[in-house]
Amino acid sequence: MLRLVTRILGLAFVASLAACGTVGTHGVKNTSKTFTTVVVDAGHGGKDSGAYRRYGPPEKMVTLDVAQRLERKLRESQVKTVMTRDSDVFIPLNDRVAMENKQKSAVFVSIHFNDSRKRRTHGFETYYHSGASFDLANGIQQKLMTIPNSANGGVHTANFRVLRLANCPAVLVECGYLSNRSEGNQARDWEYRELLADRIAEAIVEQRYGTGVYRPSPQITAQIRPQAEATSGGTSPAPAGSR
Ligand SMILES: [Zn+2]
């Protein structure tokens, strides 16, 4: 009898472990299909310029620009947003974590650009930490790969603090290498940054509401596609009233 009770208790213990396992590491709440808010994080800022080796503009400037465009697109899709920064200021990582964890039902998306000692290294990469974040990370990476001539750097796990300490699904997107001549130069182009933001927004909205729900801004369909198809574009002036 005692042996039976021990066995039942043992099974109950294993079952409770399995239940925890589905929640993810340190109790991450899987809100990836139910979230009401997206915390948009522009990497770096203020005294922290970000990527050191670069052809393009300072990383902190392009991360802010893509984050602001992304934020606008999400709001247009009726998704609530919180920005960790909205200007060129330094925000410590712990403060960013506090902002993401203050939300009741959110996902966290951090925008970065990469750099490498090897100038030829290029491509998009998306990082996550908890299992609950994988679908969102994968969705964003897949959408970025629809950009013409994009290179797939893959979806990876990482121990970045803003991912590790998040109690909601959290991903970090590396939108190409500023240290690579081609991707660095692309990052200078606001239309390209608009396209990056559009693809990331589409992935987030589809993750929440399903495929086919997201509507890209008319700018994307009217201007970006012909531009992206051109082999060597140069920089066309921004159309009046588009900024
Ligand atoms: Zn960065």
SS3 category, 67: helix
- The answer to whether the CB of 97 falls within 8 A of the CB of 166 is yes
pLDDT of amino acid 27: 80
What's the CA-to-centroid distance between 98 and ligand 1, angstroms? 19
pLDDT of amino acid 233: 36
What's the CA-to-centroid distance between 72 and ligand 1, angstroms? 21
128 or 10, which is more confident? 128
**What is the per-residue pLDDT across 146-175, written as a single tens digit (0 to 9) for each?**
999 999 999 999 999 999 999 999 999 999
**Arithmetic mean of pLDDT, 187-195:** 96
What is the residue-wise DSSP string for 7-32? HHHHHHHHHHHHHHHHH-GGG----T
pLDDT of amino acid 125: 98
Q: Which of 212, 31, 201 is nearest to 109 (CA)?
A: 201
**What is the per-residue pLDDT across 58-92, written as a single tens digit (0 to 9) for each?**
999 999 999 999 999 999 999 999 999 999 999 99
What is d(CA 78, CA 234) in angstroms, rounded to the nearest whole number?
Answer: 35
Residue 121's CB is within 10 A of a number of other CB atoms, namely 15
pLDDT of amino acid 223: 54
What's the CA-to-centroid distance between 43 and ligand 1, angstroms? 5
Q: Across all residues in the chain, what is the average pLDDT?
A: 85
What's the CA-to-centroid distance between 42 and ligand 1, angstroms? 9
pLDDT of amino acid 98: 97
Q: pLDDT band at residue 221, thresholds of 50, 70 and 90?
A: low
Who surrounds ion ligand 1 at CB < 5 A? Answer: 43, 50, 112
What's the CA-to-centroid distance between 9 and ligand 1, angstroms? 48
- Specify the amino acid at residue 38: V
Q: Is 195 left (phi over 0), alpha (psi -120 to 50) or beta?
A: alpha
